[in-house]
Chains A and B, each alone.
Chain A
Amino acid sequence: MEAPLRRVARAADRLMSVGERPPTPASHHVRRRPDPRLPAYLVGGFVALFAGIATGRYELVAVGAPFLVLLVRGLTARSGGAVEGGVSLDTERVIEGDTVSGVVTLNWEGAAEVDVTLADSRGITPVEPSPVIGWSLPTGSGPVRLPFRLEAGSWGVHDLGSVWVRLRRRGSFVVAEQRVAVAPTLRVLPTELRLGRLLKPGEPRAVAGAHLARARGHGTDFAELRPYRPGDRLRDLSWGTSARLGAPWVRVNHPERTGTVLLVLDSVFGAGGEGTEGLARAARAAWAVASVHLRAQDRVGLLALGRTTAWLPPRGGRRARWMLLDELLSVGRAAADPSRRRRRRGRIAVPSDALIVGVTNLRSQTFAPDLVHHRRAGHTVVALVIDTSDLLPTADDRVDLAAQRLWIGQRDAERHLLERAGVPTAVVRSGESVGGALLSLRRRTTVGGSRRSAVGAAR
Chain B
Amino acid sequence: MSGWGRGRQGVAVGALISAVATAGAVAVLTSSSSGVLGAAIYVFVVTVALMVPAAVAAQVLYGQLMIVSLLMRAEPVGVLLLLPLTAGVIVTAELLAAVAWLDTPIRKEAPQALPDAALSGLVGAGVFGAVAVVGGLPGPTGLGAVALAAGACVVLAGVMLRDGGVGGARRPR
Q: Which residues of B, 145-173, contact A by the 8 Å Cβ criterion? A: 145-146, 148-149, 152-153, 156-157, 160-161, 164-171, 173
Whether B127 pairs with A65 at a CB distance below 8 angstroms is yes
Instruction: Encode contact with B along A147-176: 1 for CB under 8 Å, 0 otherwise.
Output: 000000000000000000010111110010
Interface residue A185 (Cβ < 8 Å from any Cβ of B): no
A59 to B109, CA, bound (A): 38
Asked whether, in the complex, the Cβ of A110 is within 8 Å of the Cβ of B165, the reply is yes
Q: Which residues of A contact B94 (CB under 8 A)?
A: 37
Shortest CB distance A374–B (Å)? 50
Taking a contact as CB atoms closer than 8 A, the residue among B109, B153, B161 that contacts A69 in the complex is B153
Q: Counting CB contacts under 8 A, is A76 at the interface?
A: yes
B32 within 8 A of A: no
Assembly CA distance A190 to B101 (angstroms): 41
Contact code string B42-54 (vs A, CB < 8 Å = 1, else 0): 0000000100011
Chain B 120-149 interface residues, beta-carbon cutoff 8 Å to A: 120, 123-125, 127-128, 131-132, 135-136, 141-142, 144-146, 148-149
Q: What A residues does B144 contact at CB under 8 A?
A: 58
User: Per-residue CB proximity of A96-124 to B under 8 Å, as 1/0?
Assistant: 00000000000000111001110000000
Are A141 and B170 touching (Cβ within 8 A)?
yes
Other-chain contact of B64, A63, A116, A144 (Cβ < 8 Å): A63
- B132 lies within 8 A of A62 (CB): yes
Q: Which residues 86-134 of B sit at the A interface, judged by CB distance below 8 A? A: 86, 90, 93-94, 96-97, 100-101, 104-109, 111-112, 116, 120, 123-125, 127-128, 131-132
Whether B132 pairs with A73 at a CB distance below 8 angstroms is: no
Of A45-53, A307-315, A348-356, A385-393, the one touching chain B? A45-53
Task: Tell me whether A63 and B68 are in contact in the complex, defined as CB-CB below 8 angstroms, given that A77-B166, A141-B170, A169-B167 are known contacts.
Answer: yes
The A-B contact count (CB < 8 A) is 192
Q: How far is the CA of A68 from the CA of B148 in the complex (A)?
A: 12
Task: Determine the distance from Cα of A440 to Cα of B79 in the docked complex, in whole angstroms.
Answer: 93
Q: Cβ of B171 and Cβ of A61 under 8 Å apart?
A: no
Residues of chain A at interface, number, CB under 8 A: 58
Q: Are A58 and B100 in contact (CB under 8 A)?
A: no
Is there contact, CB below 8 Å, between B166 and A66? Answer: no
Interface size for B (C-beta < 8 A) is 63
Instruction: Note all chain B residues with C-beta closer than 8 A to A136.
Output: 104, 106-109
Q: Which residues of A have CB within 8 Å of B57?
A: 36, 39-40, 43-44
- Contact residues in B for A58 (Cβ distance below 8 Å): 131-132, 135-136, 141-142, 144-145
CB of A344 closer than 8 Å to a CB of B? no
Chain A, residues 25-41, CB within 8 Å of chain B (1/0): the string is: 00000000001110111
Q: Are B142 and A40 in contact (CB-based, < 8 A)?
A: no
Name the one of A43, A65, A73, A117 contacting B131, with C-beta atoms under 8 angstroms.
A65
Q: Which residues of B contact A73 (CB under 8 A)?
A: 123, 156-157, 160, 166
Instruction: Name the residue of chain A whose CB is nearest to the CB of B153.
Output: A72
**Distance between Cα atoms of A58 and B93 in the complex (Å):** 23
A64 at the interface (CB under 8 A from B): yes
Q: How far is the CA of A285 from the CA of B156 in the complex (A)?
A: 71
Report the separation of the CA atoms of residues A129 and B105 in the bound assembly, to the nearest whole angstrom: 12
Contact of A139 among B63, B112, B123, B145 (CB under 8 A): B112
Q: Report how far A68 CA is from B161 CA in the complex, Å.
A: 16
| B21 contacts partner chain A, Cβ-Cβ < 8 Å | no
Known: A39-B57, A134-B105, A169-B167. A65 touches B111 (CB 8 A): no
Q: Which residues on B are within 8 Å of A, measured CB to CB?
A: 49, 53-54, 56-57, 59-61, 63-64, 67-68, 71, 79, 86, 90, 93-94, 96-97, 100-101, 104-109, 111-112, 116, 120, 123-125, 127-128, 131-132, 135-136, 141-142, 144-146, 148-149, 152-153, 156-157, 160-161, 164-171, 173
Q: A48-B68, A136-B109 are in contact. List 11 more A-B contacts (CB 8 A).
A: A49-B146, A52-B146, A59-B68, A62-B132, A62-B145, A63-B71, A66-B125, A70-B123, A72-B160, A169-B166, A172-B166
- Enumerate 19 A-B pairs (CB-CB under 8 Å) in ascending A order: A35-B101, A37-B94, A40-B60, A41-B60, A44-B57, A61-B145, A63-B71, A65-B149, A67-B60, A68-B149, A68-B153, A72-B157, A73-B160, A77-B166, A78-B167, A111-B167, A138-B171, A144-B173, A169-B165
